[in-house]
């Protein structure tokens, strides 16, 4: 009988990378003061015995770090392992446990480069497992539920926290400390409650199987950096980033992605020297940057990031620039993904 249930259940692999979901604090009162990336994947799985009712689950420790320390090489390593598993007949879905600080970057990266319809779910938590009202157990349970569900196929990389199913493209950490931390300007795609998924919308942008990018063809990512804008800003950061080898600079602009008159000449100069300038906005609840609004992008040959926040724009620019250095192609890609 046990063999029969195992046959019916989906096979889900949990790739663990660290973060608070694998964190531990000194006391149950420590919801914010703790060390991330302490528990191994086997302990995470053992901590939620109910996972066995949802799927045949096995774990792999890909790395054990706090996600603010993730590098481009780490992204490639994780991406390549996900692709290998997605190609395996024995794997129906993949869950990635991840720190929440850069979870939105990794989820978007995988959404762009994994050529598969199989569910890929990235999950984290806001409180370590040692804390009162820890959220990791339920978030992981929900992630495995979504990853083992056939309905989740072909919907792009997904993120499950706070009972919501979010698009890995759109979602961003908008709040810290609180468990209701991840938001999307366009709303969640669905809910997951007691191991069952309820879907309400689909992503409109190209992703995964429909993407022109393939992790198997990518061996390195170009240097793309972000410069933050504010009153009295100078061009120092932009010049320094270009000097250090940035192939593109994401302008984390004020408001509509506006650029200070103190910075415009330096950006024109950098672009003449081959650095792509990509305008985004650092407003918190959904930037929306349009070409030739506030700045003459056609005249300067700049690119706009549209609704992508600066950190997501960095991910797309890196992936796109593995294929093209042409600003018009880059802009096409920024509209489509």
Ligand X SMILES: NC(=O)CC[C@H](N)C(=O)O
Q: Distance between CA 194 and CA 141 in Å, rounded?
A: 9
The residue number with the shortest CB distance to ligand X is: 99
Residue 84 in the binding site for ligand X (CB under 6 A):
no
Is residue 20 among the annotated active site residues? yes
Site for ligand X in 189-248 (CB under 6 A): none
Q: Whole-number minimum distance, CB 100 to ligand X, in Å?
A: 4
Residue 68 in the binding site for ligand X (CB under 6 A):
yes
Cα R_g (the chain), whole angstroms: 20
Residue 180 in the binding site for ligand X (CB under 6 A):
no
Identify the active-site residue in 33, 71, 97, 100: 100
Q: Are 93 and 55 in contact (CB under 8 A)?
A: yes
Closest Cα to residue 119, out of 94, 144, 84, 83?
94
- For Cα atoms 108, 111, 115, give the angle at the middle one, nearest 5 degrees: 155
Is residue 324 among the annotated active site residues? no
Residue 20 in the binding site for ligand X (CB under 6 A):
yes
Site for ligand X in 90-109 (CB under 6 A): 99-101
**Residues 6+ away with beta carbon under 8 Å from 101:** 19, 66, 67, 68, 173
Instruction: Among 126, 189, 192, 241, indicate the residue that binds ligand X (CB under 6 A).
Output: 126
Q: Distance between CA 209 and CA 162 in Å, rounded?
A: 27
Q: Whole-number minimum distance, CB 22 to ligand X, in Å?
A: 9
Residue 129 in the binding site for ligand X (CB under 6 A):
no
Which among 15-23, 81-89, 189-197, 238-246 is the span making contact with ligand X, rule CB under 6 A?
15-23
What is the spatial order of strands in the sheet that 190-193 belongs to? 55-65, 10-18, 93-97, 120-123, 158-161, 164-167, 190-193, 196-199
Q: Contact positions toward ligand X, by CB under 6 A?
A: 18-20, 36, 66-68, 99-101, 124, 126
Q: Which residues are catalytic?
A: 20, 100
């Amino acid at each position: 009988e046990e063999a029969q249930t195992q046959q019916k259940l989906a096979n889900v692999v949990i790739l663990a990378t660290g973060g608070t979901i694998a964190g531990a604090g000194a006391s149950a009162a420590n919801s914010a003061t703790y060390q991330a990336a302490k528990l191994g994947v086997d302990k995470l799985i053992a901590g939620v015995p109910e996972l066995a009712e949802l799927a045949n689950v096995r774990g792999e420790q890909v790395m054990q770090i706090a996600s603010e320390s993730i590098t481009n090489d780490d992204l490639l390593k994780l991406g390549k392992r996900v692709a290998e598993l997605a190609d395996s007949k024995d794997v129906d879905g993949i869950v990635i446990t991840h720190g929440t600080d850069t979870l939105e970057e990794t989820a978007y990266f995988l959404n762009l480069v994994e050529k598969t319809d199989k569910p890929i779910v990235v999950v984290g938590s806001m409180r370590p497992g040692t804390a009162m009202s820890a959220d990791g157990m339920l978030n992981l349970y929900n992630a495995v539920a979504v990853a083992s569900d056939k309905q989740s196929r072909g919907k792009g990389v997904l993120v499950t926290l706070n009972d919501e199913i979010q698009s890995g493209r759109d979602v961003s950490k908008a709040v810290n400390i609180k468990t209701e931390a991840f938001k999307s300007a366009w709303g969640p795609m669905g809910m997951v409650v007691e191991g069952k998924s309820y879907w309400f919308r689909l992503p409109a942008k190209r992703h995964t199987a429909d993407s022109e990018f393939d992790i198997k063809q990518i061996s390195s990512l170009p240097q793309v950096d972000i410069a933050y804008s504010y009153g009295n800003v100078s061009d120092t950061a932009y010049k320094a980033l270009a000097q250090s080898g940035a192939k593109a600079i994401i302008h984390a602009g004020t408001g509509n992605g506006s650029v200070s008159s103190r910075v415009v000449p330096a950006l024109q100069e950098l672009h003449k020297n081959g650095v792509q300038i990509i305008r985004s906005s650092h407003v918190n609840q959904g930037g929306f940057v349009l070409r030739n609004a506030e700045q003459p992008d056609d005249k300067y040959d700049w690119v706009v990031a549209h609704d992508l926040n600066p950190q997501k724009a960095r991910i797309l620019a890196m992936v796109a620039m593995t294929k093209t250095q042409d600003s018009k192609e880059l802009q096409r890609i920024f509209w489509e993904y």
